[in-house]
Amino acid sequence: MKEELLLQVEIYVAELLNKQLSPINYYHNAIHTRRVVSNTRDLAKLEACTEQETTALLAAAWFHDTGYIFTDKGHEEESVKIAHAFLKQQDVSEGMLNLVEQLILATNNEYIPKDKLEGIIKDADCGHVASEEFLDISENLLKEMNAKNQNHLSEIEWMKQNLNFLKNHLFYSSSAKQLWQPNKEINQLEIQKKIDKLSAKENKKEKNTRFGRGVETMFRVQLKNHIELSAIADTKANILLSVNAIIISVALSNLIPKLDSPSNLFLVYPTLILMLFSVASVVLSVLSTRPKISNVAITKEMIREKKTNILFFGNFHKMSLKDFEWGIDYLMDNDETLYNSLTKDLYYLGLVLNRKYKLLRITYTVFMFGIVISAAAFIYSYYIYFSA
């Protein structure tokens, strides 16, 4: 009977949260509810709760955040109303109903548990503080808070709030204290390390006045311009490739088969001139777009000494994933090295563009003279042939 009741509760709450809960509830949602239910079941078993106590705890765990479909502040009271209405329909006894309602109210952040069951539900609700995924779960809570509030918290502000919460948080059940307290303390240390790292970055940014929004905008605009110019060069090269490919195809299919006739011998030299210049244009177009990949093996020492730029795939393609991740972390921790890499990127992009546009200029010149000379050759051949 109790298992059937809990199954009905699970189906009802899951459907309720999936259909009516706001999509910006990134933390207080069905995933959090199932996590709390799982924690409650584990603690109830460890604390040797009776079947009736376990049923009340699990029912309260399922319903404890359903009030979020109506309001954030005072959602516990709304959750009690939802639980009362549903459990009343299931002919749950008055004693069980009152116990479930009290356990739901015990999940309030400011509430201090008065007995074992309230301590279990309270610990289960905050069980994520001992989870290996604490930072990810915490990030979802920050995302939810920022979506609902006008004032968005920075990463370091949020980390400080997490650290303060972990320091002041208490487990109430003996099982949670024994099993979860060590993991909570590990998470506390990780948060402190993250705060120290973020603080060091902020201090470094404050000390280094060379790098700021203006410098970032300069790099962003210049790199964007270079990339757009490169795309324009590639487009021009593709146009030349297409035009000359058409000329060669037409010449091969229409002109050359007619040259074996004695009456068309006057077209041999003009056709050869046209084919020669078209092939030359194709070769030059290909050369202007042909990529060049570096074969140099990048080392950590080269990154430290600012001798390379791992932001370009042609440089880092031979690095292992572990070394590449180290390199990116090193760039993020060292502004001078990061901007030096961006400067190298800008410089070498400029060299590539210079090569492309030089070859394109030569290609267009060859194509232009080829068309003129070929046309002149055809005209001259026709004139000589028909005037003879």
Instruction: Please tell me whether residues 316 and 333 are part of one structural domain.
Output: yes
* CATH number of 52's domain: 1.10.3210.10
Instruction: Please tell me whether residues 356 and 224 are part of one structural domain.
Output: yes
Instruction: Please tell me the distance from the alpha carbon of residue 377 to that of residue 366, in angstroms, as a whole number.
Output: 16
**pLDDT at site 1:** 53
**pLDDT at site 149:** 81
Instruction: Please tell me whether residues 291 and 264 are part of one structural domain.
Output: yes
CA-to-CA dists, residue 326 to 74, 236, 318, angstroms? 47, 39, 14
Q: What is the pLDDT of residues 115-174, one digit of tens each?
A: 999 999 999 999 999 998 998 999 999 888 888 886 678 888 899 999 999 999 999 999
Q: Enter the pTM of the model.
A: 0.54
Give the residue from 125, 143, 177 where a domain finishes. Answer: 125
Instruction: Please tell me the distance from the alpha carbon of residue 166 to that of residue 171, in angstroms, as a whole number.
Output: 11
Cα four-point dihedral sign 248, 252, 254, 256? positive
**pLDDT at site 207:** 53
What backbone torsions phi and psi does residue 293 show, to the nearest 5 degrees? -110, 135
**pLDDT at site 20:** 93
Instruction: Please tell me whether residues 109 and 240 are part of one structural domain.
Output: no
**pLDDT at site 287:** 83
**pLDDT at site 189:** 93
Instruction: Please tell me whether residues 244 and 354 are part of one structural domain.
Output: yes
Question: Do the Cβ atoms of 137 and 184 come closer than 8 Å?
Answer: no
Q: What is the pLDDT of residues 337-356, one digit of tens each?
A: 777 778 887 888 888 888 88
Give the residue from 161, 178, 207 where a domain finishes. Answer: 207
Instruction: Please tell me whether residues 381 and 345 are part of one structural domain.
Output: yes
Instruction: Please tell me whether residues 340 and 263 are part of one structural domain.
Output: yes
Query: What is the DSSP secondary structure assignment for residue 297, as one 8-state letter?
Result: P
Instruction: Please tell me whether residues 112 and 135 are part of one structural domain.
Output: no
Instruction: Please tell me whether residues 100 and 222 are part of one structural domain.
Output: no
Q: How buried is residue 16: exposed, middle or buried, by Cβ count under 10 Å (0-12/13-18/19+)?
A: middle
Number of compact structural domains in the chain? 3
Instruction: Please tell me whether residues 19 and 83 are part of one structural domain.
Output: yes
What backbone torsions phi and psi does residue 251 show, to the nearest 5 degrees? -65, -45
**What residue ranges of the chain have pLDDT lower than 70?**
1, 150-151, 203-212, 255-265, 267, 292-296, 312-315, 388
Instruction: Please tell me whether residues 233 and 382 are part of one structural domain.
Output: yes
Give the residue from 147, 179, 207 where a domain finishes. Answer: 207
**pLDDT at site 324:** 80
**pLDDT at site 281:** 86
Instruction: Please tell me whether residues 99 and 140 are part of one structural domain.
Output: no
Three-state DSSP at 173 gives: coil
Task: Give the structural domain span for 66.
Answer: 1-125
